[in-house]
Amino acid sequence: MTETRTIRVEALTRVEGEGGLHVRLNGTVVEDVQLSIYEPPRFFEGFLRGRPLEEVPDITARICGICPVAYQMSAVHALEQALGVVISPEIRRLRRLLYCGEWIESHGLHMHLLQAPDFFNAASGIELAARFPNEVTRGLKLKKQGNELLEVLGGRAIHPINVAVGGFYRAPKKDELRKLIPGFEWGLQAAIDATRWVAGFDFPDFERPYEMISVSHPDEYPMNEGRVVSTSGLSIDVSEYETAFAEHHVAHSTALHSLRTTGQTSYHVGPLARVNLNREKLCDTARRVADEVGFKSPCFNPFQAIIARGLEVIHAFDEALSILREYQPFSPSRIAWKHRSGEGCAATEAPRGLIYHRYQVDEAGKVVLAKIVPPTSQNQRQIELDLIDWLPRIMGTDDQKTADECERLIRSYDPCISCSTHFLKLTVDRVTASVGGTR
């Protein structure tokens, strides 16, 4: 008799948001894996309709407390395209500085408190801190540097309030930014040390045939603009995004699944994709550290995304320092513009991966349509397929251990269920003809 069993993870831990995982096994064959995002939909796209476009950056920031900048920036870029607004180079540099702050705080948190515990069988960042107090303290201080930058430039660390269509409500004073320099000089070296530390972890031998997608820019590491490219040769303008990618409803998740329109295939977004597709655009220091720790490109091992995050933190500190040192106050901090009807789209890079926004606005400045595709929606199907490959390698009779290993893989993506709606519980079905087991 073939034994079928179901493993359930009722709530994934150390991921942003709430969701579950349901695995159905038939003997040793994985019959089904469902990443169940059961949080109610948040309807941001719906309630943006009819709102003044000036409110969009502040409303979209509320989608996520960890990566609000990416939502704000994607929104303002798309709206500026719709309005025909061209920002100044000074505003553009400050926006990249804001991105640096977000990447530093988000990656710093994930590397040290969320993913690193998995490599030491620690149940939490607190348990890891008891064993590696210096490393965890360093990680927390790295995160602090990012938060301080967001406070100065964004008005506050969480849900910044200084971002406007056309620029910033207020440009920082020179002294305000210069005060950050010593902390960022420390941060650059600390990021190098942190990356060396995580690169020494014991990684599972697990590679997947991903199509990796990211923004790519000819002159800089991708944050706020560029073409959408892939490891399979895709290279399109952002305006073509919706011809190459489409979202689909699945019954088991309140978050949409985004797939390639050609072949309905999954794809992978995030720091691993960015580094694989843009390694030569990393700063010299990050590239040198990548070489030193033996980080190969392309890398298709999802667990090694933690190294890619480290390299991006190095890059973010390096680029931020350059901007901080050269900063001169400028005016206007916000380019003037007038309401007009139009449509615009933008793709930027949130810490967790590519994010796409499209808006239509009317002549009165009201939002007519809003479309937002967060990174986790794009990675969801890929995570399920990874688990189908991963489960036979780690599956044992102990469902709890199996569940823990599944969570470990999922966490390597740093999924933000709050963004895609929310996240995670695991269930594993192990059922004989007469026995149904559910934890």
Partner 1 sequence: MNQPRKILIAGIGSAHGDDQAGWLVAEHLAARIRDCGDIKIRKAMIPLDLLDWLDGVDILHVCDACEMTPCPEKLHRFTWVAAQWMKSDQCREADIHVRLRSPGSGGSHDFGLIEVLRLAAETRQLPQQVIIWAVEGLDFNPEGTISSFARIAAGQAADAIFNDLRIHDA
In whole angstroms, how close is the CB of 262 to partner 1 at the nearest point?
35
What binding mask, one character per residue, do residues 66-95 give for partner 1 by CB under 8 A, x or -?
Answer: x-----------------------------
d(CA 232, CA 115): 28
Would you count residue 136 as binding partner 1 (CB under 8 A)? yes
In whole angstroms, how close is the CB of 284 to partner 1 at the nearest point?
30
Options 121-129, 160-168, 190-198, 307-315: segment touching partner 1 (CB under 8 A) = 121-129
**Binding-site member from 15, 23, 190, 372 for partner 1 (CB under 8 A):** 15
What binding mask, one character per residue, do residues 379-418 give for partner 1 by CB under 8 A, x or -?
Answer: ---------------------------------------x
Nearer to partner 1 by C-beta: 100 or 109? Answer: 109
Would you count residue 16 as binding partner 1 (CB under 8 A)? yes
Residue 361's beta-bridge partner residues?
342, 367
Nearer to partner 1 by C-beta: 11 or 246? Answer: 11
**Binding-site member from 133, 329, 392, 436 for partner 1 (CB under 8 A):** 133
- Using alpha carbons, select from 130, 146, 113, 139 the residue that is nearest to residue 194: 139
Q: Find the binding residues for partner 1 in span 156-185 (CB under 8 A).
A: 156-159
d(CA 79, CA 73): 10
- Using alpha carbons, select from 212, 211, 253 the residue that is nearest to residue 417: 253
Would you count residue 114 as binding partner 1 (CB under 8 A)? yes
In whole angstroms, how close is the CB of 20 to partner 1 at the nearest point?
13
Would you count residue 122 as binding partner 1 (CB under 8 A)? no
- Using alpha carbons, select from 240, 259, 226 the residue that is nearest to residue 377: 259
**Binding-site member from 8, 14, 315, 430 for partner 1 (CB under 8 A):** 14
Instruction: Decide if 84 contacts 340 (C-beta within 8 A).
Output: yes
Q: How many residues does the chain have?
A: 439
Instruction: Decide if 281 contacts 222 (C-beta within 8 A).
Output: yes
Would you count residue 149 as binding partner 1 (CB under 8 A)? no
Instruction: Decide if 24 contacts 4 (C-beta within 8 A).
Output: yes
In whole angstroms, how close is the CB of 14 to partner 1 at the nearest point?
5
Query: Cα–chain-centroid distance for residue 59?
Result: 19
d(CA 318, CA 335): 28
Instruction: Decide if 60 contacts 71 (C-beta within 8 A).
Output: yes
Tell me the torsion sign for CA atoms 167, 157, 129, 193: positive
CA distances from 54 to 73, 98, 129, 341, 423 (A): 13, 19, 43, 14, 30
CA distances from 144 to 46, 103, 174, 270, 322 (A): 34, 12, 20, 22, 19
Q: In what order do the strands lie in the sheet with 353-361?
A: 342-350, 353-361, 367-373
In whole angstroms, how close is the CB of 87 to partner 1 at the nearest point?
29
Nearer to partner 1 by C-beta: 74 or 115? Answer: 115
In whole angstroms, how close is the CB of 144 to partner 1 at the nearest point?
4
Options 133-141, 163-171, 332-340, 368-376: segment touching partner 1 (CB under 8 A) = 133-141
Options 78-86, 144-152, 295-303, 359-367: segment touching partner 1 (CB under 8 A) = 144-152
d(CA 170, CA 372): 27
Would you count residue 41 as binding partner 1 (CB under 8 A)? no
Would you count residue 130 as binding partner 1 (CB under 8 A)? yes
**Per the structure block, which two tokens stand in for 139?**
């990680």
Given the rule CB under 8 A, which residues bind partner 1? 11, 13-18, 65-66, 109-110, 113-114, 124-126, 129-130, 133, 136-137, 140, 143-144, 147-148, 156-159, 418, 423
